[in-house]
Structure 1
Amino acid sequence: MTATSRTPVRDYLAFRWLALVAVGGAVGTALRMAVSAIVPSEGPFPISVIVVNLSGAFILGWLLEALALRGQDTIARRGIRLGVGTGVLGGYTTYSAFAVASDGLIDTDNLAVGLVIALPTVIVGVVLASLGAATARTLQRTGQGR
């Protein structure tokens, strides 16, 4: 390898994309904290974590489907996908906190409560992501998704 040749940086590792994801993650984390302040948790149920994860699943399903329906992954679409999808929604949703809360309930002999939170939340999250995608397709067909 000569002094003038370099190993090309993979596109997804380019500084602009990493910076976009980082800034988006900070915004998403702030949004999650705002929801946590507005939606209090009751008893052992981490309600704000569940609200954040389920709304995030729906929004992410909608966003990714809406972008895919618009065609090729252009620079602008990639920026939205990485900045909003990976960054904002990645910082907003908090499946790690969800996992810790569920595990904590299970470890403290609240197996039933832990499972009542964990299983339906994951299943409903998948359903809401699918509904988000279906919403994007419906809006695209009716011309409102433009």
Structure 2
Amino acid sequence: MVALGGIVGSLARYGLAAAIPHAEGGFPWATFLTNVTGCLAIGVLFARLRPQSHPLLRPFLGTGVLGGFTTFSTYAVDTEKLVHVQTHAHLVVAFVYFFGTVAAALLAATLGEWLGRRR
């Protein structure tokens, strides 16, 4: 179930990256949006799942689909590439991207959990 969900999530991530490309040294919006929306969805999902839910639902949706969709490895590579361009503007973009992604993802997961707990 994890592998099947991972296929779905990875294909969705690839589609978003293809739809929103970024130039070298530009802000990687597709990766940023992928990680933030994925964290929001994970927050909602884990707040809404109940103990009586099907036992494969969490591995399929959480670990599989959303784990395959989010991509913190690409986030790390994007940050490294921005740092190595070595111009002041790119270092600022790298700094904003590095810290902004973490802050936005944590906020999104918290918001998702809050939204998921609302009736």
- Taking structure 1 as the reference length, the TM-score comes to 0.73
Deviates more, 1:40-49 or 1:83-92: 40-49
Instruction: For 2:30 and 2:104, locate their aligned partners in 1 and report how far apart those are by CA, in whole Å.
Output: 15
Kindly indicate whether residue 61 of structure 2 is the aligned counterpart of residue 84 of structure 1: yes
SS in 1 for 2:22: coil
Task: Please name the residue that 2:16 is paired with.
Answer: 35
Q: What percent of counterpart residues are identical?
A: 37
Task: Please name the residue that 2:78 is paired with.
Answer: 101
Structure 1: gaps of 5 or more residues: 1-19, 142-146
Instruction: For 1:107 and 1:84, locate their aligned partners in 2 and report how far apart those are by CA, in whole Å.
Output: 36
Runs of 4+ in structure 1 off by over 6 angstroms are none
Task: Please name the residue that 2:44 is paired with.
Answer: 62
Aligned counterpart for 1:134 among listed residues 103, 114, 117: 114
Instruction: For 1:79 and 1:65, locate their aligned partners in 2 and report how far apart those are by CA, in whole Å.
Output: 16
Task: Quote the offset at 1:107 in angstroms.
Answer: 2.2
SS in 2 for 1:87: helix
CA deviation map 1:9-61 (0-9, x unaligned): xxxxxxxxxxx101110111111111112223255211111111111010001
- Taking structure 2 as the reference length, the TM-score comes to 0.89
Task: Quote the offset at 1:75 in angstroms.
Answer: 6.3
Instruction: For 1:39 and 1:104, locate their aligned partners in 2 and report how far apart those are by CA, in whole Å.
Output: 18
- Number of aligned pairs? 115
Task: Please name the residue that 1:17 is paired with.
Answer: none
Question: Which of 1 and 2 has greater Rg?
Answer: 1
CA deviation map 1:82-141 (0-9, x unaligned): 001000111111110011000111122132211111101110100000000011111xx3
Aligned counterpart for 1:45 among listed residues 7, 11, 27: 27
